[in-house]
Amino acid sequence: MVTGRQLAAEAEKLPSQSIPYVSGGSTLKGMDCQGLVEYCLHALGDRRDWKGSNAMWRSLLWRGTPEEAKAAFGEIPRGALLFIVLEDGGEVARGYRDGEGNASHVGIYTGTGDGAVHASSSRGCVATSVFRSKTIPHGGWNRVGLLGEVDYALAGSSEEAKMETRVVWSENGGKVRMRTAPSLKADCREKLEVGTEVSVLEDLGEWCRIQAGGKSGYMMSAYLKGKSVSPEDEDTHTLAQRLTALEERVRALEGGN
């Protein structure tokens, strides 16, 4: 799976190569803003294509303002997409009447240098742009988006070395949701079985940022237990959970008669 850091690294290679802005282009001979994102993903083995930046904006796993991104994730992940979204009705001409605004431009957040790489029509080339992890008013970067095909939590080896392994647990033995953000209102990325081992990338207190099966997301800390439990104790605990769940179902059925 492509990581956010890999996507940022691919984008960082481009400004020094004197790539001209070409509408509809997605190669080193010329590219537009959408083509730049597609080129970087293609270089990493992901063949996604979109019909314009508005289609890209509407296909994201998560989107919001830079301030909302920092509140949800603690920071803006490297490799996140940056958008200029206007409320000028320009999306209507492109077939959108959903009130989600006109995503007129897109770039990639690198987290280094000026902060962003994009194909600029006004400058006529692929270039860097200033982005300091906050909304740039008056036509600047004002939205952040995360792609479902990219794992923004798979950081470099220094972070991986600090990972702690824990085990998914629930009182009734049922599956537990791994969410796209540390909030009960966030979308469910995956449901994990009790007993699944996960890597804790970051302990946020009530929530943990975790990685499991090549995917990453957020899970409430109450559903994660240390791995120190022996296999025998774990089996016994899981059985007790299932018996408790069965008893609860029986009581519910009896109460309904």
Largest CA distance in the chain: 75
Determine the pLDDT at residue 123.
96
Instruction: List, for residues 52-79, the tens digit of each pLDDT value.
Output: 999 999 999 888 999 999 888 888 999 9
11: nearest Cα among 84, 104, 110, 102: 110
Banded pLDDT at 166 (limits 50, 70, 90): very high
Domains annotated for the chain, with CATH where assigned, are 2-151 (3.90.1720.10), 157-256 (2.30.30.40)
Collapsing DSSP to helix, strand or coil, 85 comes out as strand
The string of DSSP codes covering 210-229 is: EEETTEEEEEEGGGEEETTS
| 78-112 per-position pLDDT tens digit | 999 999 999 888 888 888 888 889 999 999 999 88
- pLDDT grade, residue 160 (50/70/90)? very low
Retrieve residue 248's tokens. Answer: 């609860």
- Whether residue 257 has pLDDT greater than 80: no
56's CB contacts (< 8 A; 6+ apart) are 34, 37, 50, 81, 103, 106, 145
- Section 107-125 average pLDDT: 95
Nearest alpha carbon to residue 139 among 89, 92, 91, 105: 105
The predicted-structure confidence for 202-220, as pLDDT tens digits, reads as follows 787 888 888 887 677 889 9
Instruction: Give the Cα separation of 220 and 210 in Å (integer).
Output: 10
What CA–CA distance (Å, rounded) separates 90 from 27? 27
